Amino acid sequence: MDLKTYFDSGRGNGVALAAALSIPASYLSQMASGNRSVSPERAVAIEKATDGAVSRRDLRPDDWQAIWPELVEAKV
């Protein structure tokens, strides 16, 4: 799922997630709304912080295969 859906579903708290990532909540909000791109490094951190609910594939749908080719054959 994407970040916006994660927040909207009540499963996540943006402020708590931002704190876990050591970034401002406003920056996380910009990533969730699509106004800021999510770097590969940040995508991994978000995936870990959300226990996989928001995956690297969800955060970088256009290029995750090139960045993490090991995930291509991995189960979804």
- Residue 33 CA: distances (Å) to CA of 28, 30, 68, 73: 9, 5, 24, 29
How many structural domains does the chain have? 1
Tell me the average confidence (pLDDT) per consecutive run of 10 residues in the chain, 76 residues long. Answer: 84 80 94 94 96 94 93 74
pLDDT of residue 75: 62
Domain presence at residue 20: yes
| Euclidean distance between CA atoms 12 and 9, whole angstroms | 8
- For 25-45, the pLDDT digits (tens) are 999 999 999 999 999 999 999
pLDDT of residue 12: 58
CATH of the domain at 30: 1.10.260.40
pLDDT of residue 14: 81
Domain presence at residue 76: no
Q: Give the residue numbers spanning the domain of 27.
A: 3-71
Domain presence at residue 22: yes
pLDDT of residue 32: 93
Domain presence at residue 55: yes
